[in-house]
Amino acid sequence: MSINLLSDDFLQAKAILRDAHFKVSADRNKKENIGLLKLLKAREENIDFEIELSEKICGDNLKYPYRSSYFLTKFFQELGFNFTHDGSTRRFWVRDVLLQLDVIQISRSIENGLFRKKNFKNRSFRTTKNEELSDDDFLNNAILDFKDFIDESIRVNETVNLDQILNLNLNIELLFDKTTETKDEELNKLIGEAKERFLKPDDQNVALEKLWDAFERIKTYYDPNKKKSANRLIDKISIDLDREIFAKEFEMLTNIGNNYRIRHHETDKKPINTANQINYLFFRMLSLIDLSLDRLSESDNESEK
Amino acid sequence: MSKAIESIYSKYLSELHEFEKNLQEVTLEEIEEWREKVKNTLEGNHRIRFSRLRFYEKVEPYFNDDIPF
């Protein structure tokens, strides 16, 4: 039996040690080091960092110029690295090269190689998927994609706060366990859509709007005269708690709907920006609607008898 | 503390440099010993990445000389 030493592994070990050394020795007050430390953080957190970066350098990611075998060799040699593509699958070969580079060398490859402007202007680096884009759009799309790549790499191991999970559990009954079955089909539809959309993070503002629409709708359940109907509903839900509590809650939530950017989108309406604020308003309103629905179903049953 | 770790990494890098200069003379025991101490110093994903490296492979001969013809 003979032993074959793997020189690539020694080069990768050197890159890892240089990165680890840079992390503890870099002067954090220097502007150039802040960017490098962010890049290093992305590399450390995202175990697929090199293969994803490789797809950008090869142009397998269509937001970047396509590079054939010849141009991949040229890419690294122009940066001063002595690598020659060996004919193997391009993205795996580039990944293995990147694994041998430390973060300072990776940064140089991104700045002076991946984002070299002349390559975004070279039409022979385009494929049918990106040939329509102007040179500027092609470059700007790549810059945006790269920013996302770094941000997502840094966040890849984030966990969901336990408080958030527990809070959601408390509200699961309100969100999932009840279907709305009043005589008013439009009301049922609005509440169902609000709950469905709330579960999609991008749709939560619309969910809030649908829920406030449902609130306006429920206020006219008994009578087209909103004030008269709402007062009857408040009477019905004020059993063990003072009527004033619910009257004030109806008034407060109506005012929030009128003054904030929930149902009305004029420039003088105040925006609701954070996920916590949306959560708070959504469940505050859903709780009131849920309580009201209990009373509505009772009065529906009474009227059927 | 970080100065101490910094000098440890510098030392490991010099040792690696020595290995590379004399790659054909390095013994498996030396590699294993070095690998173990470096792995135990690294943290997080640096350690995971380092642990994946093999540094050498054992190659079986194509013919088995023990089989008589």
- A257 and A285 share one domain: yes
Can you tell me which residue has the tokens 């090869």? A58
Contacts of A95 in chain B (CB under 8 A): none
Residue B58: strand pairing partners: A3
Is residue A1 in some structural domain?
Answer: no
Distance from C-alpha of A22 to C-alpha of A39, rounded to nearest angstrom:
12
Cβ of A21 and B6 within 8 Å?
yes
Inside any domain, residue A127: yes
pLDDT of residue A296: 83
Task: Let me know whether A19 and A90 are in one domain.
Answer: yes
Complex-level ipTM beyond the 0.90 threshold: no
Same domain, A139 and A240: no
H or E stretch at B57: strand B56-59
Would A52 be classed as within a structural domain?
A: yes
- Same-domain check for residues A168 and A281: yes
Residues A39 and A140 reside in one and the same domain: yes
Is the separation of the CB atoms in A61 and A145 below 8 Å?
yes
- pTM comes to 0.62
Give me the residue spans of the domains in chain B: 2-51
Distance, in angstroms, between A60 CA and closest chain B CA?
A: 24
CB spacing of B2 vs A47 below 8 angstroms: no
Average pLDDT for A162-167: 59
| C-alpha to C-alpha distance for A96 and A50, rounded to whole angstroms | 8
Judgement on whether residues A126 and A181 belong to the same structural domain of the protein: no
Residue A266 resides in a domain? yes
Chain position carrying tokens 């001969």? B61
Per-residue model confidence as pLDDT tens digits over A138-159: 999 999 999 999 999 998 887 7
Structural domains of chain A, count: 2
Asked whether residue A149 falls in the same domain as residue A166, the answer is no
Q: For residue A40, which amino acid is it?
A: L
- Two structure tokens written together for A128: 């049918």
- Residues A56 and A131 grouped into a single domain: yes
Give the angle subtended at the CA of A43 by the CAs of B44 and A156, to the nearest 5°: 80
Same domain, A174 and A47: no
Domain residues for the domain of A217 are 162-304
Cβ atoms within 10 Å of B54's Cβ, excluding its own = 10
Instruction: Establish if A133 belongs to a structural domain.
Output: yes
Provide the token pair at A247. 């009257």
Residue where a domain terminates, one of A110, A126, A155: A155
Q: What are A257-278's pLDDT values in tens digits? A: 999 989 888 888 888 878 888 8
**Boundary (domain end) residue, out of A155, A179, A209:** A155
